[in-house]
Every structure is written in structure tokens, then in C-alpha cells.
Amino acid sequence: MAELNPFKISQIQLDEAVGVLGLDKGTHELLRWPMREFRFTLPVKMDTGETRVFHGYRVQYNGARGPTKGGLRWHPDETIDTVRALAAWMTWKTAVVDIPLGGGKGGVTCNPKEMSDGEKERLARAYIRAAAPHLAVDRDVPAPDVYTTPQIMAWMMDEYETIAGHKHPGMITGKPIPLGGSQGRGDATARGGVYTVREAAKVLNIDAAKATYAVQGFGNAGQFGASLHQEILGGGTLVAISDSGGGVMSKSGIDPQKAIHHKLETGRVAGLPGTTPISNEDLLELDVDVLYPSALENVITGDNAGKIKAKISCELANGPTTPEADKILFEKGVFVIPDFLANAGGVTVSYFEQVQNTYNYYWTLDDIHSQLDRKMTDAFQAVYAMSKKEKVHMRLAAYLVSVSRVAEACKLRGWV
């Protein structure tokens, strides 16, 4: 596919699901577009004294099932179409794990790696000053995403509460624990993904404890995925990891904790002792049992899908596989656990955080893990049952489950 506009890809995926479900034209058209979107111009005083103008976005895609929910990304390549696509995927994500939320997403076009903490704080507060009228625990709830952190969420919550004049900890999630954050939020995205890999291994008769696996993208989700794979599945051999600067591999295995320590110490995975270099492209094509694409969009395309050898591809990243690649992988027998199922653990624990904030009582870590395991297992089983029933790949099956739930809510409300 020459056109890799992420929002157009999300519409293509929806269109395919609607064709199978046989939804009426009005419902189909409603679900193809965001219900609301906002653009903000954000002037920020930099440490040098100059004022820089940043561009921010917030898309509230569909709130039929509840308040919209979704992360805030700070990235130099952020665009409104990326945010639209991610807001659409959040809509399907909250529906597929059956939590009472809709989908939203936000972003700022910036490079936080080049900004001081003071500049980040001023940008965070500027964003909330612009977006505050459109946010609330019962309206739209942001969360951390690419290059945003619990500290940034804390600044945003503080700015919102200053504007509102009273406490609203549930208006944003992914907060630090002392400010109402939830136990278990840090590794939730990866943990939920590994739970689905465990379930996939069962139905595919793969011995998960002896599986080989590779992780493309070694940020938060990738690092936790690397370590939790062994913790949850009782073993496995990590043979390759990569980040934006390239990758490393070792057929005899990489110790996830040593790899994480090296990444935190040096800022990259390159040079990890006992490994040899490998490119991001070659890592994707390794002959492993489980592949975790954990970086950005569109890394598995029609050009390289035919070379993918993994038995399971667990998409911890958003949108790593194009629709053209999906068809190729399905024909090859690669079992794809689609992004909005695989990485739904993050929004699920964010939902748990909202619940805890609302009644001001906080759960133990064991409670969080148990509830997350139940939600992810139920979601996987619903999607897998749909894939067998309709004889379709897992992404389309996940769409069939989630789109039918959102369409039902729209119809019950009388929107269509």
C-alpha cells in the first residue's frame, strides 16, 4: 500500500468489518469519523526567553459507550491524522475489552528529548489550559503515551484542578502513585499483551515456556514485554531486541534485565555485551515463536510481510501492520494478536485507576493483576471465538466484536 495514512488505514479496517457485520449505511458513516476534534495553538516560554509555538490536538472519536479515553503523545512527527487513527483504535480497544468508555486521543507536535523539565511543564500546562473545557472524568480522560510520563500527567492534573477550583484526580490517568495513580499501571500494556500470548500459545499448541521471542522497539512496552514474557509464561528465550538506533541479537539468549539496564545506562540497545548487531528490518524477519512489534506504525507492510517467520505477532505498538500485510500474514499462518486487543492492558488499568479515584479506595497490586488477567483473557477468548466462527484473521475478528458493541450503543441511544 503506497498510502500509509494511519487514519485511512483505520477506515479501511473498519470498512472490512462493517461489510461482514452488514451494518446500515448511516451507522457505517457515523463510525468512520471522529465525533469531535480540537486543534490548539500553544505558545510556550522556553528557557532561553524566546516563545515557541507548538500545535496540539485532541480527538474524541466516539462516546456512545462512555466518556472518551486515550493517551497524549508528544512526538516531532505528530499529525492530526495519526491522532484520529489512534482515537478510532481506542474506541475499538475499550469496546473489545468491554469497559464502559469510548475512544479519544491527543498529541502535541514537539520533540521532548530536546526540552528541559521546565519547558515540558510549561507545555503540559499550556495544553491543559487550552483543552480543559473539553476534559472531565465524565467527558474525556487523557493518559500517558509516546514520550509523556506520570510527571507530565501530574502537571496536567494540577493545572486542571487549578482551573476547576476543586479536586479531580480521575480527569487524567497514568498519574504518580502519591497523586492517585494505580498500582500496576507502569507495565499494564505489556502485561496485558503477554496474557494474550499465553492464551494464543494454548490454542496454537506452542510450549510458551520454551518459546523464542524478539522485541522490536525497546521503550516502556518493549522493555516490560521482554521481562514479563519470561515471568508470566515461565520461561522463553529472548533472541533479539531493537530501538530507533538499531538492534542486537544472540541465539543463546539475552537477559532482559541486563538489556534494560544497558538501555537505561547508555540510552540504546546497541553495544549490549554478548550480542551481535541486527537491523530493525532483519529483526522482524527472524525465525522466532513470538514477535513483539513495540515501536511505531507501519513497520510490517506488503513489502516485508511475506518474510515474517514468527508464529505469533503480538502488537504492543499501535498500528504496526498495514491491511495489505494482514492478508499476507493470515495466508502464511502467522497468528497476529492485533494492537487494540494486545495492548489494551494499558487502558484497562487506566479504567481501574478512574474507578479507584472515583470512590477513593485503592486496590492492591494482586487485585490489579487478577482483574487485568480476567479482562484480557475474556477479550482474547471472545475475539478468538469470532475468528473461528467467521473464518477471519484476528484483527478482523477483534473489529467484529468491538464495532458491533459500539454500533449497538449508538443505536440504543437513537443516534442512528
Q: In this structure, which long-range contacts are made by residues 28-36, counting pairs with CB atoms below 8 Å and at least 24 apart in sequence?
A: 30/410, 30/415, 30/416, 31/62, 31/403, 31/406, 31/407, 31/410, 34/59, 34/60, 34/61, 34/62, 34/84, 34/87, 34/88, 35/60, 35/61, 35/62, 35/63, 36/60, 36/134
Task: Check pLDDT > 50 for residue 302.
Answer: yes
Mean pLDDT throughout 217-229?
94
Residue of 69, 93, 105, 311 with catalytic role: 105
Percent of the chain with pLDDT over 70: 99
Query: What digits encode the pLDDT tens for the residues 325-366?
Result: 999 999 999 999 999 999 999 999 999 999 999 999 999 999
Instruction: Output the nine-digit C-alpha cell for 284.
Output: 522482524
Question: Which residues share a beta bridge with 56?
Answer: 40, 108
Closest CA to 158 of 182, 178, 187, 140: 178
Mean pLDDT throughout 132-161?
96
Mean pLDDT throughout 215-232?
95
For the chain, which domains are there?
36-175 (3.40.50.10860), 188-342 (3.40.50.720)
Task: Check pLDDT > 70 for residue 3.
Answer: no
Active site residue 105: yes
Task: Check pLDDT > 90 for residue 145.
Answer: no
Is residue 318 very low, low, confident or very high in pLDDT (cuts 50, 70, 90)?
confident
Query: What digits encode the pLDDT tens for the residues 97-120?
Result: 999 999 999 999 999 999 999 999
Task: Check pLDDT > 50 for residue 2.
Answer: no
Contact 109, 75 (CB under 8 A): yes
